[in-house]
Structure 1
């Protein structure tokens, strides 16, 4: 359902009679530099957070809670979309909703495209906030038109993307944005059991000279309490203190609560999952098991990786090919995208997750790793560090100087992802004129090729009159004492096959399976 439909028919209070209570949505804000992400967060802080929060503690906790008429909303204050995807790459789904901020006077910019691509790769609902509508040069309709290029079709254009015009300076539209966040959260029916086992995700961590290691965590399930033993990555610790986003020391924290934890011996990585242990002994056992698992994984990575060609040749073919495009100019980029649009078939969809001008970045490699995408470059070259990162993560990164070479690669990708179509084609026939019993090779059908040819490993039918008495393959083929691959019309040969009832006068009919998949 779109937001328009949902506003008319509100989700029932007991949409899911599970007994598990609802939790607050966790929201991240992304977008192009200078489009107003920080200003929007600051406005929400000032108007929706208790007066005690003067702007100091949020930067440390990495998140804050905003109280609205629809309930609590948690905002993550992260460095940007690459940090967001870094967390996703580690298997953590920390955000429920992504807000993409676009300036009304600037429209879609490179980092806007990247932010949208990262949010789409994470498969989280997207709300677009068109900021700076108070400026004289603002053009909201133009932004809405440009959003269509990113597969974000606004509701008033017949799509299902929620678009809210706002001004972080005056506050216009901010209430509407918060209402839309609450609406999307309501439709998603977000729930978490405060009585269940605790789990959370690290948003950020740092080392304080006075206090030690501080980890900023979003509680996802259960309740976190002071005194508990926690395991994160290959480290464990005991919770010595919990601090909420207002800077208050608290004794416990339930689902969707951002907290700062004091108690770890080493700084955990953003995206690491935090779980509880009954005691120190169990915490050590969990860490030991993870160390063993990591070492096994490292050994497995040393083995040869499956190549793209091998993946394409596997039976379980992917129907959607994710691509990240980089080119030297906007004109080249548009031409390549035009070619891709014409090349994709009903069976194979070419999904361009990100298209940008300039050399690929390590952020592109990170996105490609998360979304299982390929990076294709035209007239631009990746730096050594980017190539190294791609190799380490097993990402296919290819550069082209000639457009036709790129087209050939696209054709190969499409064909490799299609279900192969095979057709049985007639090869030839031979008459069995003598049956030879060999002590090692078994029965050998001494035959004369009457038409076409016989090939080793070809499919074979044995005809006796009009009846097929055997179907199998040619396991061996000889000319005198020599093993051969093929025998043509007019020559005699010895044929090995797994059939013990071969008789003189039988006819051998050979065929082969040919790949006739459309190019």
Structure 2
């Protein structure tokens, strides 16, 4: 339960968003951040940010008391009244049919122009947030990996960034929860930027904009923001709903803020998956290794993939003989949103194809 003592009512009164004519709003003794946002018709991300401004760190499913909720409601022009019914916070595990759904990490794809710093951003994220169990493992073996931020995992798909891989990038977007649209502050929006945006929109994937290279002397953030607005991507600062974070991948500026915003958006999306069922997912990439034979990078989307599991991927068959993380660590099992490289297939499958575990 968030502590109401942490919130300053005086600060709220000075908010520019407070309305002169307050709208009546009846609130229970306790409710979740999401419930408050829904009642007000406000984005849950905005409510979380408003709580943070008042010194309260709360995620979308965290319960806050009436006094805290009333102060936040006042910021948005509501006058809160108390009702006797206590709203319960949503549990982290829900039952739907026979399978339990558990929270899972978000899957992120970085998209944009080939020269706008995608590799630098991936490197900056990986170097500063490598999972503790894989510390010291710097070499990237496959085109997908996980990092850990504040004890929470984020999965990144490292999709190719130029025209020759347009089809693969489109498939990558369909296996993605959030797309980072990377735009250089000096170059601005380019044809590949628009192409990447269209892939994300076609797949109905939420977009977070990262404006890179803000350290460049000819960086022009306002020009980039205007170009984005012209494309229909209106950032929060300009009254829209698109998260936009200025960064310098080279100097590692803004990386933490970007990752925190990704987790905020992931909370809003409430990403869940079954764990206790045969694994299903998508092929990220595949190749034929001269010594190891067919190798495939898989993203588990549902269930748990284990050593010895029999797989079917289109016309490709096989059994998981060995499984490795993005940095080459050997694994025995992998749950939802986990990228792995596997050995044991009879041929390299096609990227974008679905894999299933069969009896």
Query: Residues 116 and 64 (structure 1 numbering): CA distance in 2 closer, same or farther, change over 3 Å?
Result: same
Question: Which residue of the other structure, out of 174, 177, 182, is the alignment partner of 1:96?
Answer: 177
Distance (Å, rounded) in 1 between the aligned partners of 2:169 and 2:219: 34
Paired residue secondary structure (2:355): strand
Distance (Å, rounded) in 2 between the aligned partners of 1:45 and 1:52: 12
Alpha-carbon offset, residue 2 of structure 1: 6.3
Alpha-carbon offset, residue 207 of structure 1: 0.4
1:18 maps to which residue? Answer: 94
- Whether 1:165 aligns to 2:214 is no
- Whether 1:264 aligns to 2:339 is no
Question: Which residue of the other structure, out of 45, 51, 76, is the alignment partner of 1:3?
Answer: 45
Query: Residues 45 and 84 (structure 1 numbering): CA distance in 2 closer, same or farther, change over 3 Å?
Result: farther
Q: How many residues align?
A: 274
The higher radius of gyration belongs to 1
Paired residue secondary structure (2:103): coil
Distance (Å, rounded) in 2 between the aligned partners of 1:81 and 1:183: 29
- Whether 1:72 aligns to 2:159 is no
Distance (Å, rounded) in 1 between the aligned partners of 2:170 and 2:198: 13
Alpha-carbon offset, residue 53 of structure 1: 2.2
Output the aligned Cα RMSD. 1.9
Paired residue secondary structure (1:29): strand
Paired residue secondary structure (1:61): coil
Alpha-carbon offset, residue 159 of structure 1: 0.4
Q: How does 1:99-138 map to 2 (within 5 A)?
A: 99-138=180-219
Question: Which residue of the other structure, out of 138, 144, 150, is the alignment partner of 1:54?
Answer: 138
Distance (Å, rounded) in 1 between the aligned partners of 2:171 and 2:121: 27
1:203 maps to which residue? Answer: 284
* Unaligned stretches of 5+ residues in structure 2: 1-42, 52-58, 63-88, 96-100
Higher relative CO (CA 8 A, sep ≥ 6), structure 1 or 2? 2
Distance (Å, rounded) in 2 between the aligned partners of 1:113 and 1:213: 35
- Answer whether contact 2:44 2:268 (CA < 8 A) is retained: no
- Whether 1:43 aligns to 2:124 is yes
Query: Residues 274 and 81 (structure 1 numbering): CA distance in 2 closer, same or farther, change over 3 Å?
Result: farther
Question: Which residue of the other structure, out of 204, 221, 227, is the alignment partner of 1:146?
Answer: 227
* Unaligned stretches of 5+ residues in structure 1: 279-519
- Answer whether contact 1:88 1:271 (CA < 8 A) is retained: no
- Whether 1:192 aligns to 2:273 is yes
Distance (Å, rounded) in 2 between the aligned partners of 1:143 and 1:35: 13
- Answer whether contact 2:170 2:199 (CA < 8 A) is retained: no
Alpha-carbon offset, residue 246 of structure 1: 2.2
TM-score, normalization: structure 1? 0.51
- Answer whether contact 2:142 2:327 (CA < 8 A) is retained: no
TM-score, normalization: structure 2? 0.72
